[in-house]
Structure 1
């Protein structure tokens, strides 16, 4: 093993190593291979002859490499033979717009013909070293701490190759590596079985949520009451109050039948729509009014803690026009093309001091319509399918114009039924959230147990 230098990153103090163990820089234990550099204008977002799938940083997840989605395809001639991934290789994110992704690592578990992009690196362990030992090390929190130390004082969104090469791993004798790997796998098999069961329960809850939502927006969740004022009569009252917009209330052709008492209506007839304002980043401040951006609009939730942005100097007319109020329904208009990772809706509840940013739209429903009900409608499959029918944009970015979607039709039930549906959905979703909280707690416990096993392993303290 090489003599350590002051620049090398130690996994453990030398005095803490068990008898017979040593430490070695990653460059001695493995070949480090840079990712593929390709011309973006020659890349494709779908497979085709002569092209190789390329993994990106987002494909590296804690549960492993995601090989079936979010790929880009580069000409095969751009890929060197050694850059083709082999089973046992570990792919590491070296650079990303997301700090959380930098340093993330996952192994290739099975044969797969592909490579990784220039923002990633490949670790290919040499003979005479148990590759699974290294792979488990890259799953440990100890590795993450070392990577954070390596990034200290540099751009936090990048990991240097020389820092990765100098990363020092604890190295027991080969036989001991293999014995400890077998012990890790014994314990992890039991943990993974529990995690799989928890993930299965999570998926069932997600399916249940989706089923409740679809029942709610199609009139199958609660019973219709013949005593309710019909939606047609409700819209008739709204039309009378807005005679200048009478054309928006004209009957809509070629739409499927709805539940008793329900009717279809254009969004433009029942809500005022507004796209956000392009606030300038040079005007942002540490406090003041909060600007609601795309990242703040999550699925059914307004998350103001996500990358908050403030401004305290705003022209009066801009402040008046783009100020949000309780009951406003927000929808994100930009994301990744063909991924449907936007079009999320969230309701402003009792939050105040908010301004609407560009690429987010606001719908303000006419009284006495229930905005909580239409939050459900806009999360349903019918509306989301229609929303993405208007998607435009280049290979990476997708956009939908608010002017297009407000001409879409949405189902409107009687006003009293809107309230019953909102109440019924709220009760069911609250029960789901309680179960989800228990599942998340147990998943965190399982991860902590796995990390405790790895911590003991790489410090030489794991026993039968």
Structure 2
């Protein structure tokens, strides 16, 4: 039941695979005509030394040579290992600078201030909360962003990195590191290459190897500077970046096609369900026992169960008004309320103060366990003692389940081959003979928007057991219910 075809690709895994191949030199071929990486690194090293001498960069401590067991993985012979600090100027805004100079001048217009949340993987989010007045901006030299660079949070969302274009003025906020490549005659490490490396599994591992597990995960600027990076020849970097970009474009198209396919599937399923509950998906059969006769049998069954004290006698449900009949149904069908066709019961939560109530062998369902399908497993189980000392209700195989409130409101399930109990946010229905559980399931699925709307208005959406029992339900003859479900499943399996 409820099986559908899907156009599903793990595009995130595809991107990771592309990046990991790229960073091992296996995405594009090497070219012997490229300037050797060692020559480019030597030129950048000389430029860094000159900038230090001119006091445009601070002198940094000498780091150990990257050899042997310190090499994170194998790279082509024409590549070199280096530290990020050797090819870039890496800075941050000191805490006292933010407190003393930035925070007192925050406003809602002017020059934007970058925070960690403005940096997502490969993307700058230009939805800024704070700005610096233009007349003050020029004096805040240390925090200025005025040329192309990489930005990455070093507190909280570690591993997110994106390129700031430098095409407009901005300021560096707290908890954001700036990685500015050292260029010689506009030649140096590709910002895009370093961004892709840090997004790869290998780069992320290097970036976070000195991760501090505090209230928020963090890395120091020193750790960022000491991140080990592979250095291909500059021309090969360009080829790698171009190839990644082309492949990512193709993956983006796959994602778009997958989303469109999913949306089309959803739309078609909704249409099939709408047609089904209107009695237009399958033909009526004059030899079927009419729903009116079926309902009389259900009433007799209910009366007998009450007489035998197997269920409690309930207050009669109100007559269904013409306004409640939302659409026309075939003559052989009847409108009823959900409380007329089964016994509905909400569950409960055994006291958490008693650990002996939990960890047993009785499946205890929370609404997060509902997946609009058959329920065979639950995330928690309780003991016989937990059942005895709470008001949980037993749901037999085949019972229909519905989430009554919260974020999962309207989610559905059908109990599988084992009896289960539920928490108080879930309502289960033990149907009387004559109503097919899968037909009720699909009707509730088709009616989800109405159910959610019915539960709105309070602090927490809640459709309640009473509202469910009063919800109107068009009942076809039993044999037609089965034909409808078979047709739905057949159509769904072809989508």
Note whether the superposition's TM-score is higher than 0.5: yes
Structure 2 partner of 1:428? 491
Q: Deviations over 1:275-301 (max 9, x none)?
A: 221223452655522221122111334
Count of residue correspondences: 382
How far did residue 146 of structure 1 move? Answer: 5.2
- 1:144-293 aligned at under 5 Å gives the runs 145=205, 154=213, 159-162=217-220, 165=224, 167-172=227-232, 175-242=235-302, 245=314, 247-248=316-317, 250-254=319-323, 255-260=325-330, 261-281=332-352, 283=355, 285-293=358-366
Distance 1:239 1:14, change over 3 A: closer
Question: Equivalent of 2:415, from 348, 368, 373?
Answer: 348
- 1:438-449 aligned at under 5 Å gives the runs none
Taking only aligned residues, the RMSD between alpha carbons, in angstroms, comes to 4.9
Q: Deviations over 1:138-192 (max 9, x none)?
A: 44233455578666x958x963243974654434465543332112223333444
- SS across alignment from 2:220: helix
- SS across alignment from 2:281: coil
Question: Equivalent of 2:437, from 371, 386, 400?
Answer: 371
Query: Which ranges of structure 2 fall in alignment gaps of 5 or more residues?
Result: 1-44, 46-59, 95-107, 138-142, 167-172, 183-188, 304-312
8 Å contact kept, 2:396–2:418: yes
8 Å contact kept, 2:344–2:427: yes
- SS across alignment from 1:424: helix
- SS across alignment from 2:321: coil
Q: Partners in 1 of 2:148 and 2:469 — Cα distance?
A: 50
- SS across alignment from 2:295: helix
Structure 1 partner of 2:454? 389
- SS across alignment from 2:395: coil
Structure 1 partner of 2:373? 300
Q: Deviations over 1:238-271 (max 9, x none)?
A: 2344465573262333022332122322222222
Distance 1:350 1:303, change over 3 A: closer
Q: Partners in 1 of 2:124 and 2:269 — Cα distance?
A: 25
How far did residue 351 of structure 1 move? Answer: 2.6
Structure 1 partner of 2:402? 331
Distance 1:132 1:293, change over 3 A: same
8 Å contact kept, 2:333–2:476: yes
Structure 1 partner of 2:5? none
Q: Deviations over 1:299-349 (max 9, x none)?
A: 3343626xx22223525545785222111112223444xxxx542101112
8 Å contact kept, 1:291–1:357: yes
Q: TM-score normalized by structure 1?
A: 0.64
Q: Deviations over 1:66-91 (max 9, x none)?
A: 98xxxxx9975899x9899x999777
- SS across alignment from 2:455: coil
Question: Equivalent of 1:402, from 449, 459, 465?
Answer: 465
Larger radius of gyration: 2
- SS across alignment from 2:244: helix
Q: Partners in 2 of 1:161 and 1:331 — Cα distance?
A: 45
8 Å contact kept, 2:193–2:241: yes
- SS across alignment from 1:406: helix
Q: TM-score normalized by structure 2?
A: 0.61
- SS across alignment from 2:242: helix
8 Å contact kept, 1:60–1:93: no
Structure 2 partner of 1:42? none
8 Å contact kept, 2:116–2:152: no
Q: Partners in 1 of 2:469 and 2:116 — Cα distance?
A: 36
Q: Partners in 2 of 1:108 and 1:201 — Cα distance?
A: 32
Query: Which ranges of structure 1 fall in alignment gaps of 5 or more residues?
Result: 35-48, 68-72, 96-101, 112-117, 433-464
How far did residue 378 of structure 1 move? Answer: 1.0
